[in-house]
Amino acid sequence: MSLTLDFLLPPPPASYKADQESAVHAGLTASADRLLEPVGPGFFAYARRKRHNRTFSEDERHQAEEKASQIVEEEKVDFEYEDVDLTTVNTDPTNWKSQDNYAVLGLTNLRYKAKEEQIKKAHRRMVLLHHPDKKADKNDDAFFKCIAKAYDTLMNPVTRRQYDSVDFGMIGVDEDVPTAKTPGNFYKLWAPVFEREARFSNKQPMPMLGDENSTKEEVETFYDSWYNIDSWRTFEWLDKEGAEGADNRDDKRYQEKKNRAQRAQLKKEDNVRLRKLIDICLSVDPRIAQFRAEDKKRRNAKKDAKAAADKAAAEEAARKAEEERVAREKAEAESKAAAASAKKDKESLKKAVKKEKKTIKALFNGNNFGLPAGTQASPAEVEKQLVAMDAVIVKNKMIEDLEKLRKDLEQGVKDGKFADVFASYVEAAK
Any idea what the CATH number is for the domain that residue 155 is in?
1.10.287.110
First to last CA, the chain: 173
Residues 253, 320, single domain; the answer is no
Q: Check: pTM over 0.95? Answer yes or no.
A: no
Q: Which residue from 110, 85, 226, 84 is spatially nearest to 167, judged by alpha carbons?
A: 110
Q: Is residue 93 reached through a cis peptide bond, with omega within 30 degrees of 0 on the bond before it?
A: no
Picking from 171, 187, 215, the residue at the C-terminal end of a domain is 171
Domain count, the chain: 4
**Residue 126 maps to a domain:** yes
**Residue 299 maps to a domain:** no
Confidence class for position 140, pLDDT limits 50, 70, 90 = confident
Determine the average pLDDT of the residues in 88-92.
90
Residues 379, 279, single domain; the answer is no
* pLDDT above 90 for 226: yes
Residues 261, 315, single domain; the answer is no
Picking from 294, 315, 346, the residue at the C-terminal end of a domain is 294
For the ranges 35-44, 68-77, 218-227, 279-288, the lowest mean pLDDT is seen at 68-77
Give residue 78's pLDDT.
63
**Residue 255 maps to a domain:** yes
Tell me the percentage of the chain whose pLDDT exceeds 90: 31
Residue 131 · residue 89 · CB < 8 Å? no
* pLDDT above 70 for 77: no
Residues 158, 202, single domain; the answer is no
Q: What angle do CA 352, 355, 359 make, to 5 degrees?
A: 140
Determine the average pLDDT of the residues in 144-157.
94
Determine the average pLDDT of the residues in 355-381.
80
What b/e sequence results for 210-246 when a residue is b if at least 16 CB atoms lie within 10 Å of its CB, and e otherwise? beeebeeeebeebbeebeebebebbbbbebeebeeee
For the ranges 151-155, 208-212, 287-291, 335-339, the lowest mean pLDDT is seen at 335-339
Q: Which residue from 140, 306, 181, 281 is spatially nearest to 222, judged by alpha carbons?
A: 281
* pLDDT above 50 for 195: yes
> Which residues on adjacent β-strands are paired with residue 231?
201
Confidence class for position 150, pLDDT limits 50, 70, 90 = very high
> Which residues on adjacent β-strands are paired with residue 201?
231
Determine the average pLDDT of the residues in 259-266.
92
**Residue 143 maps to a domain:** yes
For the ranges 228-232, 244-248, 293-297, 313-317, the lowest mean pLDDT is seen at 244-248
Residues 352, 277, single domain; the answer is no
Whole-angstrom distance, CA of residue 171 vs CA of residue 357:
121
Whole-angstrom distance, CA of residue 170 vs CA of residue 113:
12
Residues 309, 423, single domain; the answer is yes
* pLDDT above 50 for 72: no
Residue 268 · residue 286 · CB < 8 Å? no
Picking from 118, 145, 171, the residue at the C-terminal end of a domain is 171
**Residue 17 maps to a domain:** no
Residue 393 · residue 373 · CB < 8 Å? no
**Residue 85 maps to a domain:** no
Residues 143, 206, single domain; the answer is no
Whole-angstrom distance, CA of residue 325 vs CA of residue 280:
59
Residues 225, 244, single domain; the answer is yes
Better-predicted residue by pLDDT, 56 or 163: 163
Residue 86 · residue 100 · CB < 8 Å? no
Round the average pLDDT of the chain to a whole number and report it.
Answer: 83
CB atoms within 10 A of CB 293: 10
Residues 282, 381, single domain; the answer is no
Whole-angstrom distance, CA of residue 326 vs CA of residue 332:
10
Determine the average pLDDT of the residues in 237-258.
76
> CA of 249: how far to CAs of 134, 254, 258, in Å?
45, 9, 14
| Domain extent for 132 | 93-171
Confidence class for position 243, pLDDT limits 50, 70, 90 = very low
Residue 409 · residue 360 · CB < 8 Å? yes
What 3-state DSSP class applies to 307?
helix
Residues 202, 229, single domain; the answer is yes
Alpha helices in 203-300 (DSSP H): 216-227, 249-284, 286-299
**Residue 80 maps to a domain:** no
Better-predicted residue by pLDDT, 387 or 170: 387
Residues 347, 418, single domain; the answer is yes
Q: What region, left, alpha or beta, does residue 84 occupy, with left being phi > 0 and alpha being psi -120 to 50 degrees?
A: beta
Q: Is residue 205 reached through a cis peptide bond, with omega within 30 degrees of 0 on the bond before it?
A: yes
Residue 274 · residue 197 · CB < 8 Å? yes
**Residue 30 maps to a domain:** no
* pLDDT above 60 for 75: no
Residues 282, 338, single domain; the answer is no
